[in-house]
């Protein structure tokens, strides 16, 4: 097995394992290798250095990409790209669906912040207009809402909240 450090056209760095170099080339040519962050299939190998034990814990900058095959074009180097975990195709689809759901909710609903439990109750009991809302609630507050028969669901974290 070979572990490649890869980068997409949007400069997202990630790693993936392949049985051989030929296997990577064949999968990439068929569009089967995609970025786990943005889904792009324009993916190329980055320069790779051998893994050497180090005693310092300084920051490591991933190597610049070598470029893509002539079918996909070339990708310029991305300074300070943070490698991402390689995800399976079903995991990539699930992550994309979760982010799309979050975007749809935040675009079409009112952010009520920490007032979420109170606003959800007011809407449920007809004390205010029915509308889509999102906000913050503790696990105990969310459980109390569910116990009262108020439908709530967790919102996937924003990409900047994943760290």
Express each pLDDT in 115-134 by its tens digit: 999 999 999 999 999 999 99
The pLDDT of residue 157 is 75
Query: C-alpha angle 42/44/48, rounded to 5°?
Result: 160
Please check whether residue 24 is in contact with residue 18, taking contact to mean a CB–CB distance below 8 angstroms. yes
- What pLDDT is attached to residue 87? 72
CA–CA distance from 73 to each of 9, 30, 41 (Å)? Answer: 9, 15, 12
**H helix or E strand, kind and range, residue 143:** helix 139-147
Average pLDDT across the chain, whole number = 78
Q: Quick check: pTM over 0.75?
A: no
Per-residue pLDDT at 72: 43
pLDDT of residue 90: 84
pLDDT computed for residue 86 by the predictor: 67
Percent of the chain topping pLDDT 90: 27
pLDDT at residue number 14: 86
Tell me the per-residue pLDDT of 53-79, one tens digit each, with 9 for 90 and over.
Answer: 555 555 444 444 444 443 444 444 444
Question: pLDDT above 70 covers what percent of the chain?
Answer: 72
* DSSP string computed for 91-128: HHHHHHHHHHHHHHHHHHSEEEETTHHHHHHHHHTTSS
Instruction: Specify the pLDDT at position 18.
Output: 86
Question: What mean pLDDT do residues 76-87 have?
Answer: 51
Q: Quick one: pLDDT at residue 117?
A: 95
What is the per-residue pLDDT for 73? Answer: 41
Q: What pLDDT is attached to residue 94? A: 85
Question: b/e for 48-85, b at 16 or more Cβ within 10 A?
Answer: eeeeeeeeeeeeeebbebebbeeebeebeebeebeebe
């Amino acid at each position: 097995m070979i572990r490649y450090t890869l980068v997409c056209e949007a400069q997202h760095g990630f790693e993936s394992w392949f049985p051989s170099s030929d296997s990577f080339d064949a999968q990439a040519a068929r569009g089967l290798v995609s970025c786990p962050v943005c889904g792009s299939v324009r993916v190329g190998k980055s320069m790779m250095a051998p893994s050497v034990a180090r005693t310092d814990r300084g920051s490591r900058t991933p190597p610049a990409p070598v470029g893509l095959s002539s079918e996909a074009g070339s990708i310029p180097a991305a300074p300070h790209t943070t490698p991402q975990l390689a995800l399976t195709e079903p995991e990539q689809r699930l992550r994309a669906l979760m982010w799309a759901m979050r975007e749809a909710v935040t675009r079409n609903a009112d952010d009520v912040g920490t007032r979420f439990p109170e606003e959800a109750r007011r809407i449920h009991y007809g004390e205010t207009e029915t509308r889509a809302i999102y906000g913050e609630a503790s696990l105990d507050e969310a459980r109390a809402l569910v116990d009262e028969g108020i439908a709530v669901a967790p919102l996937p974290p924003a990409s900047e909240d994943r760290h």
